[in-house]
């Protein structure tokens, strides 16, 4: 364990465990991040050093930590921020130093359980660095990076069309480095211990440890860990890997799957924010998918036609597939909508929703046949497995 030490959230406890953050020369720090091969932990796995170098080359850059954790089945960022807020704040300070930023921001969803501890931690280190805390509407797409920047700039947490990307023009139209809070916590440790230390564990191409939320429990393991080490696969029919931006994986395939971006991409999936949820053999993957598709449709920000109209249509078709009534045009329509939606929004929300539903149609293909024939299994009546917190709310 590297991030999740036994130390508590107070500054004295943090300093007792990690010592003071001594920041090297900017170039040396950038080289250390590059040498460490740190990939972002917010979902896409983008190389952190590459983003930092672009931002560092711009004028009057800004840094923004993304602690919103919009993924309903994820708990790792809230746990990290509650237990070790100073590690994240050290990382934010190191990121600001590396890119030459004089301004640092931290965004959390309104109502996040981590907020009181984060507020206290920011106050405790007021003499070290100033961080502006933002409370963002707790919506799925509000934590997408362009939405966060829009929130800071205008108060509205809706995504905007890019380019320009945040690292080109973000907060106050200045180049902005947006990083997930786990990414920043790793950065705080790289700044202390160096690249070789960081690379000493994990997959050589995607080094280090990573936080995963497996059936609601947060664990820190080396990258490249097998799914079967984190979830007991006995009694499961499938595993959701990567959260609602990820894919279903059948249990046979999950047996040999290891958790890297490379392996998940090769399997047609996405590692996302490190979420794993097991679906018991007694459940129904189509019903679970219909519930999440309904949630994702309600979470669209209502500003791009294809997403605004397409996601609710897809959700309605998946609901019909799961629970009826069924008619043969539903499948034709669903296939067509799934084929045209990806890449049509300001943000990648529709892309994620399409990938998630497509994976269900593949992994639960035998169930699709049974449901279409009017023979759904008993699983349609079982208790929900995937959390769906904001069912049916509209944007305010
Ligand atoms: C719909 C949507 C929701 C997102 N929600 C989050 C989130 O809750 N937390 C997060 O860190 N990144 C989220 N992201 C990714 C961010 O846009 C951004 O890429 C990330 O914060 C960059 O951090 P990283 O480079 O450290 O991974 C989301 C992306 C999309 C498309
Ligand atoms: S693609 Fe959808 S969620 Fe993203 S900005 Fe457009 S309407 Fe909003």
CA distance 17 to 85: 13
Q: Which residue's CA lies nearest to atom 20 of ligand 1?
A: 42
State if residue 310 touches ligand 2 by the CB under 6 angstroms criterion.
no
Q: Using CA atoms in the order 52, 54, 60, 65, what is the torsion angle rounded to 10 degrees?
A: -40
Q: Identify the residues whose C-beta falls under 6 Å from ligand 1.
A: 40-44, 46, 66, 68-70, 140-141, 143-145, 178-180, 183, 347-349
CA distance 2 to 353: 33
Pocket test for ligand 2, best of 147, 158, 245 (most atoms within 8 A of CB): 158
CA distance 187 to 195: 10
Query: pLDDT for 361-381, tens place per residue?
Result: 999 999 999 998 888 887 788
CA distance 99 to 62: 8
Find the ligand nearest to 71 CA: 1
Is 261 exposed, middle or buried (CB count within 10 Å of its CB: 0-12, 13-18, 19+)?
buried
Name the strand (E) or helix (H) holding 120: helix 115-124
What tokens does 63 get? 């840094």
Helix axes 26-36, 48-56, angle to 10 degrees: 150
Q: How many CB atoms lie within 10 A of CB 28?
A: 12
Find the ligand nearest to 342 CA: 2
Find the ligand nearest to 106 CA: 1
Q: Which residue has the tokens 């929004």?
A: 345
Q: How many CB atoms lie within 10 A of CB 126?
A: 9
Q: Do the Cβ atoms of 349 and 310 come closer than 8 Å?
A: no
Q: Which residue's CA lies nearest to atom 8 of ligand 2?
A: 301
Q: Do the Cβ atoms of 387 and 291 come closer than 8 Å?
A: no
Tell me whether strands 131-136 and 103-109 are parallel, antiparallel or unpaired: parallel
Ligand 2: nearest atom to the Cα of 345:
1
CA distance 106 to 66: 6
Q: Which residue's CA lies nearest to atom 18 of ligand 1?
A: 145
Query: pLDDT for 10-45, tens place per residue?
Result: 999 999 999 999 998 999 999 999 999 999 999 999
Is 200 exposed, middle or buried (CB count within 10 Å of its CB: 0-12, 13-18, 19+)?
exposed
Predicted pLDDT at 325: 84
Predicted pLDDT at 391: 46
CA distance 278 to 367: 17
Q: Determine the distance separating the centroid of ligand 2 and the alpha carbon of 40, expressed in angstroms.
A: 22
State if residue 349 touches ligand 2 by the CB under 6 angstroms criterion.
yes
Q: Determine the distance separating the centroid of ligand 2 and the alpha carbon of 183, expressed in angstroms.
A: 25
CA distance 275 to 218: 9
SS3 label, residue 213: strand
Closest CA to 75 of 40, 114, 44: 114
Closest CA to 112 of 92, 146, 88: 88
SS3 label, residue 61: coil
Name the strand (E) or helix (H) holding 33: helix 26-36
Q: Determine the distance separating the centroid of ligand 1 and the alpha carbon of 321, expressed in angstroms.
A: 31
Q: State pTM to two decimals.
A: 0.95
Q: Determine the distance separating the centroid of ligand 2 and the alpha carbon of 161, expressed in angstroms.
A: 9
Q: Do the Cβ atoms of 40 and 244 come closer than 8 Å?
A: no
SS3 label, residue 109: strand
Maximum pairwise Cα distance, the chain? 67
Query: What is the DSSP secondary-structure string of 332-372?
Result: HHHHHHHHH-TT-SSSSHHHHHHHHHHHHHHHTHHHHHHHH
Q: Using CA atoms in the order 69, 181, 357, 217, what is the torsion angle rounded to 10 degrees?
A: -70
Find the ligand nearest to 303 CA: 2
The low-confidence residues of the chain, meaning pLDDT below 70, are 390-396
* Domains of the chain in sequence order: 11-200 (3.40.50.11540), 206-280 (3.10.20.600), 285-381 (1.20.1440.230)
Q: Determine the distance separating the centroid of ligand 2 and the alpha carbon of 395, expressed in angstroms.
A: 12
CA 24 to chain centre: 30
Q: Determine the distance separating the centroid of ligand 1 and the alpha carbon of 330, expressed in angstroms.
A: 33
Q: Which residue's CA lies nearest to atom 4 of ligand 2?
A: 347
Q: Is the peptide bond before 325 cis (omega within 30 degrees of 0)?
A: yes
- Torsions phi, psi for 258 (to 5 deg): -110, 155
CA distance 316 to 339: 16
Predicted pLDDT at 377: 82
Find the ligand nearest to 309 CA: 2
Q: Determine the distance separating the centroid of ligand 2 and the alpha carbon of 263, expressed in angstroms.
A: 28
Predicted pLDDT at 190: 98
Ligand 2: nearest atom to the Cα of 299:
3
Q: Do the Cβ atoms of 47 and 39 come closer than 8 Å?
A: yes
């Amino acid at each position: 364990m590297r991030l999740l030490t036994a130390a508590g959230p107070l500054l004295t406890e943090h300093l007792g465990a990690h010592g003071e953050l001594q920041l090297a020369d900017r170039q040396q720090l950038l080289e250390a991040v590059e040498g460490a091969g740190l990939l972002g932990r917010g979902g896409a796995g983008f190389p952190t050093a590459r983003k930092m170098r672009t931002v560092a080359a711009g004028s009057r850059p800004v840094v923004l930590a993304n602690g919103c954790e919009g993924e309903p089945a994820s708990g790792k960022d809230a746990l990290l921020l509650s237990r070790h807020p100073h590690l994240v704040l050290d990382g934010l300070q190191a990121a600001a130093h590396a890119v030459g930023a004089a301004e640092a921001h931290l965004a959390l969803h309104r109502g996040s359980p981590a907020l009181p501890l984060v507020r206290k931690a920011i106050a405790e280190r007021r003499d070290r660095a100033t961080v502006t805390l933002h409370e963002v509407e707790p919506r799925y797409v509000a934590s997408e990076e362009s939405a966060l920047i829009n929130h800071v700039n205008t108060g509205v947490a809706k995504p905007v069309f890019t380019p320009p990307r945040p690292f080109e023009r973000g907060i106050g139209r200045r180049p902005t480095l947006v990083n997930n809070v786990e990414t920043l916590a790793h950065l705080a440790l790289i700044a202390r211990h160096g690249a070789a230390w960081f690379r000493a564990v994990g997959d050589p191409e995607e080094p280090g440890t990573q936080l995963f939320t497996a059936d609601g429990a947060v664990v820190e393991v080396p990258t490249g860990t097998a799914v079967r080490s984190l979830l007991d696969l006995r009694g499961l029919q499938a595993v959701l890997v990567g959260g609602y931006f990820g894919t279903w994986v059948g249990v046979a395939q999950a047996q040999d799957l290891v958790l890297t971006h490379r392996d998940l991409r090769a399997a047609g999936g996405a590692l996302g924010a490190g979420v794993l949820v097991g679906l018991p053999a007694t459940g129904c993957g189509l019903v679970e998918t219909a519930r999440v598709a309904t949630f994702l449709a309600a979470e669209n920000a209502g500003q791009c036609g294809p997403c605004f109209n397409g996601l609710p249509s897809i959700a309605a078709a998946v609901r019909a597939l799961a629970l009826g009534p069924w008619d043969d045009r539903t499948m034709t329509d669903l296939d067509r909508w799934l084929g045209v939606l990806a890449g049509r929004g300001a943000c990648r929300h529709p892309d994620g929703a399409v990938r998630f539903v497509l994976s269900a149609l593949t992994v639960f293909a035998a169930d699709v046949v049974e449901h279409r024939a009017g023979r759904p299994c008993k699983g349609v009546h079982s208790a929900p497995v995937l959390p769906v917190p904001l069912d049916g709310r509209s944007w305010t």
